[in-house]
């Protein structure tokens, strides 16, 4: 019997979510896509699945062209979503040979309030920022941390800007705490790739990795922002896209999420609703190389909006590790943060286990807000004290330790967000800002 402890998301920071996606021949069912503002029936609208796994974002501040994200056929085009505050600084393929890349240089513009870096490569390899140095020589991520930091190659606890590592696709957002200043000018990055980790031997790996670097440029640090969501339904909870968008109970869940995020100035914007193959209703294995969680997240490919993907499933299981009494998984995020503005990667989303909330003192809206918090870059305020090694806390000065009233506490049952947690979320490229929108 499983312990009925509540666990969410970043459990893998301790265990290492060493998941990779094996090739799968399953043909996903046609997606039905809807947009909240559109009341016309949209069942069976075929999605224009672009083979590219990143929705192209035209975010050059020099022009105001809306995002070109291939609208759904036979469906009114959603309002264009602009990301004028976000500039793509680099998009390149780096070659990792025996674990190492040559230096990648990029220029952080004046007025940048955040920089995010996404690494997307082979599914079973961990792609890592090995070193990140700013123009003044400060190391946001210091060379050699992978072998020296106690985070098992999964997390750099001793880096100025904390980073977490994931297989397949990982990302970093800076600054993510009060001790890091983002200095304009030329930054230097080196990458590392490995297999293993999380209590297994680490071996350097080789391969190509897609590197995408964004900066968010605003006149000042944002105090409010808008998050768009793509909602994906498997039938879990009795919800398909059409039912959910008309169900007062489901809409109330979204309103509760809105209420939680309102405390840091984050609001929900456009919402798309779509059905995916019911085969994803039960995710058998969030770990290991054959994880169907990774496959679930790739169902976001071709999504029309630059919105965070949320997947409603019945259950998220540990696979073979399920016998070890880790508890019930209520939700899981594709990364801390997930890869910004990339659709279709093995980490492009957040999954929530609807049925697992039944009979527990756990609210669906809290899990959603908590997991999306991870996806936007928030760590647990305090990890569970495992009784060995130091207890882990987030790098933020304004989140108290071991306070279960906080949304990002490891049980995920609280509700509070701190100002710095708000700043991290609002500075993520997924969040847009009304002041920078076209009229």
Both structure tokens of 38: 């559109």
- Between 9 and 153, name the residue whose CB sits nearer to Zn ion: 9
Q: Which residues pair with 194 in a beta bridge?
A: 126, 204
Write down the residue that tokens 């964004």 correspond to. Answer: 214
Question: What is the C-alpha to C-alpha distance for residues 280 and 357, in angstroms, rounded to an integer?
Answer: 18
* Residue 148, Ramachandran bin (φ over 0: left; ψ between -120 and 50: alpha; else beta): alpha
- Between 9 and 340, name the residue whose CB sits nearer to Zn ion: 9
- Residues in CB range of 147: below 8 A, 6 or more apart: 202
Q: How far is the CB of 374 from Zn ion (least distance, A)?
A: 5
- Between 225 and 331, name the residue whose CB sits nearer to Zn ion: 331
Count of Cβ atoms closer than 10 Å to residue 240 Cβ: 20
- Between 222 and 412, name the residue whose CB sits nearer to Zn ion: 412
- Give the CB-side neighbour count of residue 222, counting CA atoms within 13 A: 30
- Between 6 and 231, name the residue whose CB sits nearer to Zn ion: 6
Q: Which residues pair with 91 in a beta bridge?
A: 212
- Between 9 and 151, name the residue whose CB sits nearer to Zn ion: 9
- Residues in CB range of 199: below 8 A, 6 or more apart: 16, 152
H/E element holding 212? strand 207-217
Q: How far is the CB of 13 from Zn ion (least distance, A)?
A: 8
Q: How far is the CB of 263 from Zn ion (least distance, A)?
A: 18
Does residue 12 sit in helix, strand or coil? helix
Q: How far is the CB of 11 from Zn ion (least distance, A)?
A: 7
Do the beta carbons of residue 172 and residue 161 sit within 8 Å? yes
Q: How far is the CB of 409 from Zn ion (least distance, A)?
A: 9
**Nearest residue to Zn ion, scored by beta-carbon proximity:** 9
Q: Phi/psi of residue 243, each to 5°? A: -65, -45
Distance from the first to the final alpha carbon of the chain: 56
Q: How far is the CB of 411 from Zn ion (least distance, A)?
A: 9
- Between 194 and 409, name the residue whose CB sits nearer to Zn ion: 409
Q: How far is the CB of 168 from Zn ion (least distance, A)?
A: 19
Closest CA to 316 of 344, 345, 346, 357: 357
Do the beta carbons of residue 129 and residue 141 sit within 8 Å? yes
Burial code of 367-380, b = ≥16 C-beta within 10 A, e = fewer? bbbbbbbbbbbbbb
Q: What is the dihedral of CA 40, 41, 46, 49, to 10 degrees?
A: 50
Q: How far is the CB of 333 from Zn ion (least distance, A)?
A: 7
- Between 69 and 399, name the residue whose CB sits nearer to Zn ion: 399
Q: How far is the CB of 378 from Zn ion (least distance, A)?
A: 9
Both structure tokens of 205: 């790996």
Alpha carbon distances (Å) from 359 to 162, 332, 345: 36, 19, 33
Q: How far is the CB of 321 from Zn ion (least distance, A)?
A: 17
Q: How far is the CB of 369 from Zn ion (least distance, A)?
A: 11
Question: What is the C-alpha to C-alpha distance for residues 412 and 369, in angstroms, rounded to an integer?
Answer: 9
Q: Phi/psi of residue 323, each to 5°? A: -80, -5
- Between 194 and 375, name the residue whose CB sits nearer to Zn ion: 375
- Between 170 and 274, name the residue whose CB sits nearer to Zn ion: 170
- Between 80 and 414, name the residue whose CB sits nearer to Zn ion: 414
What does the binding site for Zn ion look like in residue numbers (CB under 5 A)? 8-10
Q: Which residues pair with 416 in a beta bridge?
A: 406
């Amino acid at each position: 019997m499983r312990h009925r402890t509540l666990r969410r998301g970043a459990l893998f920071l301790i265990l290492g979510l060493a998941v990779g996606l094996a090739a799968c021949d399953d043909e996903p069912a046609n997606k039905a896509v809807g947009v909240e503002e559109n009341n016309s029936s949209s069942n069976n609208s075929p999605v224009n699945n672009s083979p590219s796994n990143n929705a192209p974002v035209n975010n050059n501040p020099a022009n105001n062209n809306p995002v070109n994200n291939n609208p759904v056929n036979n469906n009114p085009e959603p309002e264009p979503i602009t990301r004028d505050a976000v500039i793509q600084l680099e998009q390149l393929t780096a070659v990792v040979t025996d674990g190492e890349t040559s230096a990648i240089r990029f220029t952080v513009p004046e007025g940048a309030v955040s920089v995010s870096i996404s690494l997307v490569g082979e599914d079973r390899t961990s792609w890592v920022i090995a070193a990140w140095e700013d123009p003044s020589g400060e190391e946001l991520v210091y060379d050699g941390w992978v072998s020296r930091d106690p985070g098992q190659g999964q997390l750099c606890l001793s880096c100025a800007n904390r980073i977490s590592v994931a297989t397949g696709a990982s990302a970093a957002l800076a600054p993510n705490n009060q001790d890091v200043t983002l200095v304009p000018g030329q930054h230097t990055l080196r990458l590392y790739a490995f297999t293993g980790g999380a209590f297994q031997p680490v071996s350097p790996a080789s391969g190509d990795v897609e590197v995408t670097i964004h900066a968010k440029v605003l006149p000042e640090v944002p105090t409010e922002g808008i998050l768009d969501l793509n909602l994906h339904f498997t039938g879990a909870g009795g919800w398909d896209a059409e039912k959910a968008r008309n169900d007062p109970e489901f809409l109330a869940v979204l309103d509760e999420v809105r209420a939680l995020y309102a405390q840091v100035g984050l609001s929900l914007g456009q919402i798309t609703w779509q059905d995916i193959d019911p085969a994803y209703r039960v995710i058998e294995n969030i770990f290991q190389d054959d994880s169907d969680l990774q496959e679930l997240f790739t169902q976001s490919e071709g999504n029309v909006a630059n919105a965070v993907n949320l997947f409603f499933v019945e259950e998220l299981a540990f696979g073979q590790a399920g016998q070890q009494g880790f508890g019930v998984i209520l939700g899981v995020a594709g990364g801390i943060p997930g890869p910004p503005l990339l659709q279709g990667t093995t980490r492009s989303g957040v999954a929530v286990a609807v049925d697992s909330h039944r009979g527990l003192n756990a609210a669906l809206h809290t899990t959603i807000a908590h997991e999306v918090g991870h996806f936007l870059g928030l760590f647990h305020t305090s990890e569970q004290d495992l009784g060995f090694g130091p207890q882990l806390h987030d790098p933020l000065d304004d989140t108290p330790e071991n306070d279960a009233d906080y949304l990002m506490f490891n049980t995920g049952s609280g509700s509070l967000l701190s100002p710095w947690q708000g700043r991290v979320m609002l500075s993520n490229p997924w969040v847009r800002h009304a002041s920078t929108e076209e009229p």
